[in-house]
Chain A
Amino acid sequence: MVIQHILQTIVNNIKHQIMKPIKLTLILIALFTTVCCKSQQLIKTEKDAHKIKENEKQFINKPLKDLLKEIKPQIKRVFGNPIKNSYETVGYFMFNFVDLQQYDSLKVNKKTPVTIVVYVKEYFDWDFHKRPKGKETVWTKDDAHKYENLTVVGFRVYGDTTIAN
């Protein structure tokens, strides 16, 4: 009986010793997967911009923030165009991954940078001339927060994906 108990204890200890690193490994794998999944954004580079159109059902009638969190490259230029009456036309944001100067320089060379136009259902407050002087076209964290709940109703994606940022 005593021998049996001793043997059982030894087996348990061995089990514990083996299981400990396995458990740790499993926890680490779970953590890694979670982090990786979080960083698996749909639009990793400008070249992926067209994926928005391909996956538009994922974003239509959803808040703007759902779309924005899938875009990894930094939005460097934005133009807003709010509309009150959605039966006439729809308001939109026009996003680029190049800043105003780069945009103008590309246009001079007859190139069109990658452009994502996001149409939204609701009227939103946007007056170019009331935005911070010199930074009117800069998309800020405050903007992202302010407009995050606007409902996305459509997209337009175009431009030359071969243009390096």
Chain B
Amino acid sequence: MHMITKKITKIFTILFIGLSFSLGCSKSYEKNLINDDTDTDIFSITEAKNWFLSNSDKIKINSINGTKVQAIKIKSFSVNWDKAIFGSDDKYSVVECTLHFDFYPGFNIFNKGNTPSVDKINGITRLIILKDKKNGKKQSILMHLFSTSSKIDESITYFNRDKQFSGHVFFTDLKGNFINGWIYENGKIIKASKKILLTNNIVFKSNSIRTTLANDVCSTYEISWYERDCVEYYSGNVVCGPWNYIGSTFQTYCVSDGGGGGGGGGYQPPVDPVTDPCSDAQSAANVVTSLSQNNNYINAKSIIQTSNPNIEQNVTFGKDANGNITSSIITSCNSSSSCAVNTNWPGAFSDLHNHPDLLPPSPGDIYNLIGVNNNHIGYNTRIVVTPDGTVFALDILDLAMANTFKATYPPVNIGYVPEFPSEIFDKFHDVRSAFILQGFSNLVSEERAMSYILDKFKTGISLLKQDTNGNFKRLITNENLSNGNTTYSTNNCQ
């Protein structure tokens, strides 16, 4: 009898512990927001953890048991699996985990051009593991929260946005590369990130951009990234050091009617408005081709080409009140201080200068044009003519992307000349030398290397070249990997 009682007690104890354990682990949150009743393929925390740990090498980041890996923006972190929560919407099963960072990330997000207030820096970053309900494909991303009121509610999750929440929710890959984002005001989505092409039928108005194509009102936001060291004591107190600025990315947000996953504001990979790089740049190419047929352009180019070939001369093109193309006086670049382009020319939208060497647009031309375009909306084209009469044009297709490129790969100064940082310089050299070794001229090798770099490093800028018919066409250089060898080939737009 005593033995039976003992056994029953043992069974009940085991059952009780098991039940407590399963209830404790499942910590289902905001039950009313989770559609977990009909889904037969529930994504368990254990499955998410196993997948993440077994793929940590491939996704170049570690979990709590792995080796720590440094990333560009996001430093190494550890995952609190025991505090993971799960949920699902119609597209994804989602596991969400809080994180421990070596350096905790924080943000300050503001309309580009505004001066940020340092006391606004705040942020929460969490790991999100998604399982596609259709194909079972898993992926890990980071969700970042930023409150415009400086105080952020820790209870905000992937599925649950506080009704009072005003701020940003945005998603990046594990290295910090932007995927998509939402802007909230009092718990409602007011804007969504959007990839737009600045040359697609756009009317500019002050600092905002109106795309007549989609009839959206969009504006560029600067996301300033910070990090700080925090120490968590056993008492639960957390003491943090000062925020250190680590860089900025730029994103375009447009007025939104809501959408996204899990009650709005979820992961939503951006769809390129145009996926064909030739169509992408066609509008820009048409504008430059049209400019090149204008008498003001033809006269200015002729004067520049017949002037001292060893000195750079430049001219700015603008539009008057009637939309007619105008040109500034031609200035000579014969000292480091006299090389600035005339950005104050009324209606300025483009400039032209010669290169004394047989070289396409330089890194300096690229970085400078990004700066000019930021200060003069619509001024997004730079034309270069070489001694043999070859004409190139740089055209900024996506200023937000160009700004992110510049912030990620800031120029290095060799003397007073801006150059690519070594990572890009090295790649540029490899592509250029590959074509030189194939017997191509320095100019052709340089133009191909430059077009490759502009695409590879996601500059949002296209390199165009004028063909024998006078039309500007985008240059495209592809990298091909075969049997461990890297080769480069051209696929220029026709």
Known contacts A90-B417, A128-B442, A158-B426: does B310 contact A85 (CB below 8 Å)?
A: yes
A51 at the binding interface (Cβ < 8 Å): no
Contacts A85-B357, A115-B426, A127-B442 aside, 14 further interface pairs with beta carbons under 8 A come to A84-B310, A84-B356, A85-B311, A85-B333, A88-B312, A88-B356, A88-B359, A88-B362, A88-B364, A90-B419, A112-B426, A119-B415, A129-B436, A153-B415
Q: Is the CB of B419 within 8 A of A89?
A: yes
DSSP class of B's interface residues: helix, strand, loop or mixed?
mixed
Assuming the A-B contacts A117-B425, A156-B422, are A89 and B364 also in contact, with contact meaning beta carbons closer than 8 angstroms in the complex?
Answer: yes
Docked-complex contact A87 and B339, CB < 8 angstroms:
yes
Contacts of B430 in A (CB 8 A): 107
Determine if A39 is an interface residue (Cβ-Cβ < 8 Å): no
Quick check: is A18 within 8 A (CB to CB) of the other chain?
no
A119 to B364, CA, bound (A): 15
- Selected from A79, A90, A154, A158, the residue in CB contact (under 8 A) with B422 is A158
Is A75 on the interface with B (CB-CB < 8 A)? no
Please tell me if A94 contacts chain B, counting CB pairs below 8 Å. Answer: yes
CB distance from A87 to the nearest CB of B (A): 5
Contact with A along B416-459 (1 / 0, CB 8 A): 01010010011001100100100101100000000000000000
Contacts of B357 in A (CB 8 A): 82-85, 88
B239 within 8 A of A: no
A164 at the interface (CB under 8 A from B): no
How big is chain A's contact interface, by range? 20 to 34
Q: Within residues 109 to 134 of chain A, which ones have a CB less than 8 A from any CB in chain B? A: 112, 115, 117, 119, 127-129
| Residue interface bits B323-348, CB-to-A below 8 A is 1, else 0 | 00000000001111001000000000
Min CB gap B118→A, angstroms:
33
Q: Does A33 contact B (CB under 8 A)?
A: no
A84 to B356, CA, bound (A): 6
Point out the residue from A88, A94, A108, A115 that lies within 8 Å of B355, measured CB to CB. Answer: A88
Query: B32 near A: Cβ within 8 Å?
Result: no
CB distance from A68 to the nearest CB of B (A): 19
Residues of B within 8 A of A (CB): 310-312, 333-336, 339, 355-357, 359, 362-364, 412, 414-415, 417, 419, 422, 425-426, 429-430, 433, 436, 439, 441-442, 484-486
Query: Is A45 positioned at the interface, with any CB of B under 8 Å from its CB?
Result: no
In contact, B312 and A154 (Cβ under 8 angstroms):
no
Cβ of A102 under 8 Å from chain B: no
Q: Which chain B residue has the least Cβ–Cβ distance from A117?
A: B425
A94 surroundings in chain B (CB, below 8 A): 429
A144 to B442, CA, bound (A): 22
Q: What is the bound-complex CA distance between A154 and B413, given in angstroms?
A: 9
Instruction: Write out the residue numbers on chain B whose beta carbons fall within 8 Å of the beta carbon of A154.
Output: 414-415
Contact partners of A83 in chain B: CB under 8 A: 357, 359
| Residue contact B417 to A88, C-beta cutoff 8 Å | yes
